[in-house]
Every structure is written in structure tokens, then in C-alpha cells.
Amino acid sequence: MNRQAAGWLGLAEGALRQAPPTALLSATRSVLAECVGARDVTLLLADYGLTVLQPVTDLPHTGEATAVDGGSAAGRAFTAGAPVVEVTDEPGMVLVHVPITVRGDRLGVLSVHLPESATQDAPRVLELAAFATALGHELLVAERDTDLYLQARRRRRLTLAAEMQWQLLPGRGFAHDEFTLGAHLEPAYAVGGDNFDWTITDDALTLTVTDGQGQGIQAALLTNLTVNALRNARRAGISLEDQACLADQAVYGEYGGKLSAPTLLLRIELATGRTQVVDAGSPQLFRLRGHVVERVHLDAQLPLGMFEETQYHTEQFALDPGDRLIIVSSGVHAAQNDGSHPFGEQALRETIAAARGGSAYETARAVVDGLMQYHGGEELPSDAAVVCLDWRGRRASAS
């Protein structure tokens, strides 16, 4: 990136940082008009179900949403995670759609209406993509102080349980040198008990999927307790099995065994791919290696909180570069339709295999989409959580 580009980007990022939380869009329009000749700018945020991109306008009103899978240029930019240039009906003008991502978490798309001459130079499009990334970071910071962007993502009202769950999640994706994570949760506007969580250090990725029992608020409260107990134990720096033990005690102490929280816990060493796992309940783990999809069979242990002072142990397996792991909650692998036929392992294998050419994000969505088709395209009757991890491994240091 040349010095001139770095100069306007620095100016633009400074304007974003100085703008009030509710004025990020107006600041974006002003700085892009001044620096790149943008005539108009639209900020589109992905809704909770990742089905549409919704424009940020003056709430409670919102503009017309754009379907993610409808073939639109903005939808293609979001799905592919790459800029798309769209020719307009106005001579000499184009729309540049750049995805807004923060460390792999896809937030939406920035659509910029500007002279075609401004895009003849490929670096200009890359500069807009860099600006969109800076905007994404500011959007996440702004959410601490305003509901504007959270409201703009909603096609309809969330249930209270779903509100609790979405506030608990780390995001819906994460990209790192060694891996990419993509996750999806349904029914997006009414989810109660399912949850995924992750964290990294310089040495390892810790990943959990929790399948909280019950419905609605009851399930959300149980899952909130479980996830925060796991985080508290993890941040104390103890082993994976001890994290499970302490969370188990917390859940049992509150519910006395009346409710439990099936959870799968993994810790992956970034340098080697060596994976420790505690299977404490119903989430299931599948691996795609090459063209073969197989379920990783683990020693099933008791769900967290079922009995007092349960002891847990870890198992181990190794990840190879190119492996894909898919974790699904019981709302996926044990789902039954009106005919009482389970979705089942075979359907899961076929769905995972069919999506192997897609990204981790799209694979997580594909599994949920397959489940929704199994239910006739209607909203899912039970919570369904899917996490997909694409493992690249750590590259050897150059000698």
C-alpha cells in the first residue's frame, strides 16, 4: 500500500474513532466522499439468521433487506468474503461491495457508490476493504454504548431467551493462522439452550459446545451458568478435565441434578494439532479428512451437573492439516420430523460431504439448512448449534 493510500486510510480510521457511536455511518459517508469521491454509502448488517443483509437507517424504520443467497452483488460479497464490483445503470458509476469482517467474524457489507475510474486501480478496492475492516472493529466497540446496530440486525423481535444467548456468544466466526471457525445457531430468533464458545492463547484453542436442557428462559439460565462456570475455570488456568469438574459442581450446586448441561470440550495445541477432548454429554463430533466423513467416537461421560462431584477425563486425537471438524448439538443429530424419523448420522455425513468445497462458515450454514429442509423448511422445533473448524496447522518456520 502506497503512502498516499496509507494517508487517507489513516484519516478515515481517525474519523471513525472520533465519531459518536451512533454516527459511524455518517462519518463513513463523509470521509469516503472526501477521500475517494463516493456519492453514497450503504451499511448492510447480517441478520441473526444470516439470511439477509439489512441496511442501517433511522430506526425503528429500516430499508429493504437484501437476501444473502439471492444472487445479489452484496450477497456474493458477504458469502465469498471478497469485494464485488457491480456495474450500475448510471454511466461511469459503479457500486463496490466490500465485506465487513473482524478477525473472521462476518458482520455485513459496505456498499460504496463511486466513479468507475476510482476502481480501475485494483489497490483502491483493497483500500476500501481495509477501511471496511476498520469500520467493523468500530461497530463492535460501538455496541457497548448503543443498541442501534444490534437493532438493525433484527428482522423481528428476539425472545428474551435468545437475547440472553446471543449476548453470551463470542461471535459466529474466527480466523487464525492455524484454523478458521464458522458457527451457526437456530432458531436464531428463539434459541434457548444451545451455545458455542471459544478462546485462544499463543499455544492453544479451547472450544466448547453446550446443549442446555429445557426450553426458553430456563434453558438460557442453565446455559449462562454453564458457560460462565467453564470460562471462570478456564481463566484460572486449570486443565480441561478440571474445567469440566468445576462447571459440573456449579451446575449441580444450583439445580441439584434436576437439570444438566451436556457439553463437548476441546483443547487443540496450535503447534501440533494434538487435541484433548472431554465428551460430557450429547454434542457429537464429525471429521472430514480428504473425502471421508466419519464420526469421532468418544467415551461418553455424564453431562455437567447430573450428579455431584463427577470426575472427568480427557481423550486425545491428532488433527492433520486439511482436516475439518464439525460439532453438532442434539438438536441436529437427534432431530425427528413429524414422521418420527431421525435426521441421523447418515444425513449428516452426506450434508458435510456435499459442503466440503465451501468455507467453514458456509458449511455450518449448510448443515442447518439441511436440517430445516428435513423439517419442511419451517422454523426448527429444537435448538440446533453447529460449529465447523478448518484446520491448517502451523507452518514450519523458514530456516
- Establish how many alpha carbons lie within 13 A of residue 106's alpha carbon, considering only the half-sphere containing its beta carbon: 32
Contact 128, 187 (CB under 8 A): no
Residues 6+ apart with CB under 8 A from 391: 178, 179, 268, 273, 319, 320, 321, 322, 323, 324, 325
Report the alpha-carbon distance of residue 248 to residue 229 in Å, rounded. Answer: 9
pTM of the predicted model as reported, rounded to 2 decimal places: 0.91
Number of Cβ within 10 Å of residue 227's Cβ equals 23
Report the alpha-carbon distance of residue 115 to residue 109 in Å, rounded. Answer: 19
Alpha carbon 151 to its chain centroid, in Å, reads: 18
Q: How far is CA 368 from CA 18, 25, 51, 151, in A?
A: 40, 32, 12, 24
Question: What angle, rounded to 10 degrees, do the helices at 344-354 and 360-374 form?
Answer: 140
Report the alpha-carbon distance of residue 323 to residue 303 in Å, rounded. Answer: 27
* Residue-by-residue pLDDT tens, the chain, 399 positions: 444 556 788 889 999 999 999 999 999 999 999 989 999 999 999 999 999 999 998 765 567 899 999 889 999 999 999 999 999 889 989 999 999 999 999 999 999 999 988 877 778 889 999 999 999 999 999 999 999 999 999 999 999 999 999 999 999 999 999 999 999 999 999 999 999 999 999 999 999 999 988 889 999 999 999 999 999 999 999 999 999 999 999 999 999 999 999 999 999 999 999 999 999 998 999 999 999 999 999 999 999 999 999 999 999 999 999 999 999 998 888 766 665 667 778 888 999 999 999 999 999 999 988 888 877 766 777 888 999 999 999 987 644
Provide the pLDDT for residue 399.
40
What does the H/E/C string look like for the chain?
CCHHHHHHHHHHHHHHHHCCHHHHHHHHHHHHHHHHCCCEEEEEEECCCCCEEEECCCCCCCCCCEECCCCCHHHHHHHHCCCEEEECCCCCEEEEEEEEEECCEEEEEEEEEEEHHHHCCHHHHHHHHHHHHHHHHHHHHHCCCCCHHHHHCCCCCCCHHHHHHHHHCCCCEEECCCEEEEEEEECCCCCCCEEEEEEECCCEEEEEEEECCCCHHHHHHHHHHHHHHHHHHHHCCCCHHHHHHHHHHHHHHHHCCCCCECEEEEEEECCCCEEEEEEECCCEEEEEECCEEEECCCCCCCCECCCCCCCCCCEEEECCCCCEEEEECHHHHCCECCCCCECHHHHHHHHHHHCCCCCHHHHHHHHHHHHHHHCCCCCCCCCEEEEEEEECCCCCCCC
Query: Residue 71 carries which side chain, given as an amino acid letter?
Result: G
Provide the pLDDT for residue 86.
93
Report the alpha-carbon distance of residue 57 to residue 80 in Å, rounded. Answer: 25
Alpha carbon 237 to its chain centroid, in Å, reads: 25
Report the alpha-carbon distance of residue 346 to residue 294 in Å, rounded. Answer: 10
Provide the pLDDT for residue 364.
94
Report the alpha-carbon distance of residue 152 to residue 46 in Å, rounded. Answer: 9
Provide the pLDDT for residue 4.
54
Provide the pLDDT for residue 45.
96
Q: How far is CA 87 from CA 28, 35, 80, 351, in A?
A: 22, 21, 18, 35
Report the alpha-carbon distance of residue 13 to residue 15 in Å, rounded. Answer: 5
Residues 6+ apart with CB under 8 A from 396: none
